[in-house]
Structure 1
Amino acid sequence: MKRWMRTAAITLAVTGAAAGVAGGAVVYFGWYDISATSPHTIAVHHLMDTALSRGVKMRSADVEVPDLQGAERIQNGSRLYRAHCAQCHGGPGVAPQPYALGLNPTPAALVGTARTRSAAEIFWITRQGIKMTGMPAWRHRLADEEIWDVVAFMRVLPALTADEYRRGEDGQAPATRAPAPGGNLRAGNANAGRDALHQYMCVACHAIPGVPGAWNYVGPSLAGIADRPAIAGTLPHTPENMKRWLMSPDEIKPGTAMPNLGVSEQDAQDIAAFLQTLSESR
């Protein structure tokens, strides 16, 4: 290796190491301002925006977009948008709810998003959510067809005036499609179950091996739960009973502190499959 190349490589390595040490010190000693009352630095914003744009573009490349032109689909998307999206993102002439005004980073104005992102990208973001933004993964709460309805509405959203948007407020509950019958459920998937644990905030109350979450737990650890003979001290421990417990804890044990989180049957089956992997013998 030529001398100048070796010098350049050493210089880059030393510079990188110094930057890493400096960044670690900023975090470790609490110098970075993590309060929500001040924005991230411009550099952090650029880093997050680049990661978001590149990641979404790559992961949405294979998404097949259905026909989004139907009036019924757009109307249902409008209702779903008002029920689930407008609270944080607002709409033409409509501000977000007060609690959303303090979110950091600020939720995107979806009128602009609909102009700059493809339908596939909007679907992927809505379905999967985005880390470190407060944007949840709606695939655990809405069917894919409902998410496409929202995308269909967002495609027409930029063309709506404030009056036109307000006229769409018909006061009706969002039209939802019936969930797939139990016979159409796929087998429980442990990896999907581990992801679902985050979406239903199980990690806020329970220590779960291999799953990062809160540090102040109010419920028992789930370590070794696959070896326990009973669920909530009442049900024999089987995957089917675990699914029942996850979906309707109040019915299994009235007065339990375990809340009903509205876990879907498929998600309950996936979570039960993951919990079966938490054995002390594995």
Structure 2
Amino acid sequence: MAAFAAAGVLGAAGAAAFVWFGVYDVSATGPHLQPVHSLLEIALQRAVQRRSDAHPPPRDLLTRERVMQGAACFRDRCVACHGAPGVAPQAFSLGMQPVPSSLVEATRHWRPQDLYWITRNGIKMSGMPAWEYRLEEGELWAIVAFLDALPLMTPDQYRTLTASPEQSPEQSSEKTPEKSSASVGKVEGVAAARCDGIVDAPAPLVPPLATVELAQRAFRQHGCTACHTIPGVVGPDTSNGPRLSGLAGRDRIGGKAFPTEDGLTAWIRDPQAIDAHNAMPTLGVSETQARLMARYLLSH
């Protein structure tokens, strides 16, 4: 037992030294070592599979309307990083490490509930964001339905299906896509759906989170920790903005808003409308989420 304990201490010390002296290259110009890459892949698969069964797919997942809506969401939210048939990812995504994968074969490796979970929750340290606060529940499942149709979709079919709602059929590159598969056959016409609304309240979590945990998640998902240190919320050591503690005892917030739930909610939702000269941007936070955040801050 003593030998095992000594080995554990030495291993921990070695790992600490490995980190402290900056041995591992974290630059995006160099890939992970193959063992690290393989370990992360296994961790990803096991973690998703353990959690995704709490979100079974709708029985009518593969409807024409859902795939059409998913096409619009994919066009507006996903193609920049993942590309599409005949469409390259934007240049910035090609410099990410790991490079965002093509989703043409996503359904070969993941079940519908897996794809939903990944889209909703994102993946740490991969660049994949969580869309929980930016897409409605129906839109999340619509993307999953679209991914089912993607493998047999030609570039012309993709361009037609994802033509902007403002475009006329003559402005799209081709006419209605041919029915080359059962899935693609369901997606006739030009996509008219949009994915530009503010999510007022994300779908309930399984298992449910406490109100405090929901508020902490809202701060992280709206990027508040990029500029502010917030009590109880894990984030970087930053001083870009003031520390958000003791707000209830202040005379004003940002020199303008009153430290009440209504005042702080209004400030969180649209600080530029209250003071156009302050540096805090308007982030598109919904009323529900802003009130949740305001109550949290006023109690800490």
Give the alignment's TM-score, normalised by structure 1.
0.87
Partner of 2:7: 15
1:104 to 80, 97, 103: 97
Partner of 1:68: 61
Q: Does 1:126 align with 2:148?
A: no
How far is the alpha carbon of 1:210 from its aligned partner?
Answer: 2.6
Q: Does 1:41 align with 2:60?
A: no
How far is the alpha carbon of 1:177 from its aligned partner?
Answer: 8.3
Amino acid at match of 1:199: Q
Deviations 1:108-166 (A, max 9, x none): 22112222111111111111111111111101111111111111101111121233223
Evaluate the alpha carbon distance shift between residue 179 and residue 208 of structure 1 in structure 2; reply closer, same or farther with a 3 A threshold: closer
CA distance in 2, matches of 1:118, 1:107: 19
Q: Which structure has the highest helix share of the two?
A: 1
Amino acid at match of 1:31: V
Partner of 2:239: 217
Q: Does 1:28 align with 2:49?
A: no
Q: Does 1:175 align with 2:225?
A: no
Check the 8 A contact 2:135/2:197 in 1, yes or no: no
How far is the alpha carbon of 1:252 from its aligned partner?
Answer: 1.8
CA distance in 1, matches of 2:200, 2:39: 43
Check the 8 A contact 1:77/1:146 in 2, yes or no: yes
Amino acid at match of 1:239: E
Partner of 1:185: none
Partner of 1:155: 148
Q: Equivalences for 1:82-93 in 2 at 5 Å? A: 82-93=75-86
How many residues matched? 265
Amino acid at match of 1:175: R
CA distance in 2, matches of 1:155, 1:241: 45
Check the 8 A contact 1:206/1:217 in 2, yes or no: yes
Evaluate the alpha carbon distance shift between residue 178 and residue 95 of structure 1 in structure 2; reply closer, same or farther with a 3 A threshold: closer
SS in structure 2 at match of 1:165: helix
Check the 8 A contact 1:78/1:150 in 2, yes or no: yes
Amino acid at match of 1:53: Q
Evaluate the alpha carbon distance shift between residue 72 and residue 31 of structure 1 in structure 2; reply closer, same or farther with a 3 A threshold: same
SS in structure 1 at match of 2:282: coil
